[in-house]
Every structure is written in structure tokens, then in C-alpha cells.
């Protein structure tokens, strides 16, 4: 089973794909990277580019489930949350268009699962991912580490089951 974690952004969107293998408790990192969007292009162009790049990635990696963090907004950064909602919506649309099951996790849940601290910094996430995935260097930019963290958190929840994977409206629920 492949789990794809996505950290949506309007200039960089991080992704991390992990795989659960039979008789192996810990997920294995398959691929991780970043989709780079034209930062100075109009919003509509960037959203189209994000959709095209992400659907191509979904076609290549063929995940069983895609996981995105739930939108979090601080009252001082409402505009940022609204703008990020655009990217997140495109991510959800891309997954739906490819028939991928979609799940969502709270940012604090991901951080706590990966570092033990629900309010960990980006640097702490990078360090934890480097250690847990046995990487030679820090995953960079931080969006990549965040996406891997999302994928690992979801995959570990599935591996320790029983967990009911969210069903698509056109399919029955599947217990893993």
C-alpha cells in the first residue's frame, strides 16, 4: 500500500510517498520532492500548474491513499489561510480526479507523531525525518520534510490498525 503525503503551497508543494510492505511494520520511503510553481505567475496559472503537476505525480506513483493536513489558521494570518485553501482545494481535486482515497490529519497530530511535540518547528521536523528515514542530509526545502511526515504519520496509523480507511462515496469502507 502506498501513502502519499502532500504539503500544499502556491510556490512550492512538497510531496512524500511511503510504502507499507507485507510483514514490515515501518513504512519505507519511496520518493519525495517538491513541485515548483511559477511564483510570479497569476494565481489561476499556478493553480492550473499545480493540478497538472500533481495529477502527473499521482499517475506515476499510483498511491492508494493521499493525505493532506487539515487547514489551520491563526487569527493573525487569515489571508494566508485563504490563499493556502486555494492550493489545498486543487490538491483535493487532483486526488479525486484520479480516484485516490483522501484523508486529512491535523498539523499538531503529525508533528506529535513524528517528533513527540505537537508544536515542533520546521527544523525539528526536518531532523526527525532525516533520522527516521535514515537520510544522509536534511530533506530540503522544509516542505519536503513536512510531506514525508504527513505520509509517515498516516502510514503508521494504518500499519498499527485496525483502521478504517475513509471510503470514497462510490466504494464501500475498507478495514485494514
Kindly list the catalytic residues.
Answer: 7, 69, 143
- Of 49, 22, 145, 159, nearest to 137 by C-alpha is 145
All three cell numbers of 148, joined, read 514525508
Strand residue runs (E) in 8-77: 12-19, 28-36, 65-69
User: Do the bridges between strand 101-105 and strand 65-69 make them parallel or antiparallel, or are there none, so unpaired?
Assistant: parallel
Q: How far is residue 138's CA from residue 46's CA, in Å, rounded to a whole number? A: 27
What letter does residue 8 receive in the DSSP assignment? Answer: -
Q: How far is residue 109's CA from residue 99's CA, in Å, rounded to a whole number? A: 26
Strand order from edge to edge, sheet including 101-105: 28-36, 12-19, 2-7, 65-69, 101-105
Amino acid at each position: 500500500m502506498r501513502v502519499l503525503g502532500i504539503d500544499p503551497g502556491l510556490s512550492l508543494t512538497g510531496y512524500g510517498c511511503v510504502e507499507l510492505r507485507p510483514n514490515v511494520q515501518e513504512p519505507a520511503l519511496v520518493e519525495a520532492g517538491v513541485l515548483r510553481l511559477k511564483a510570479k505567475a497569476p494565481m489561476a496559472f499556478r493553480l492550473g500548474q499545480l493540478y497538472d503537476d500533481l495529477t502527473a505525480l499521482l499517475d506515476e506513483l499510483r498511491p492508494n491513499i493521499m493525505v493532506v493536513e487539515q487547514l489551520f489558521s491563526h487569527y493573525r494570518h487569515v489571508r494566508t489561510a485563504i490563499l493556502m485553501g486555494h492550493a489545498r482545494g486543487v490538491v483535493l481535486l487532483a486526488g479525486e480526479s484520479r480516484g485516490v482515497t483522501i484523508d486529512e490529519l491535523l498539523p499538531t497530530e503529525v508533528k506529535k507523531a513524528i517528533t513527540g511535540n505537537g508544536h515542533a518547528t520546521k527544523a525539528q521536523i526536518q531532523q526527525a525525518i532525516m533520522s527516521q528515514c535514515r537520510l544522509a542530509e536534511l530533506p530540503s526545502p522544509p516542505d519536503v520534510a513536512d510531506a514525508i511526515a504527513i505520509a509517515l504519520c498516516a502510514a503508521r496509523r494504518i500499519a498499527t490498525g485496525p483502521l478504517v480507511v475513509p471510503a470514497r462515496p462510490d466504494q464501500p469502507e475498507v478495514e485494514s
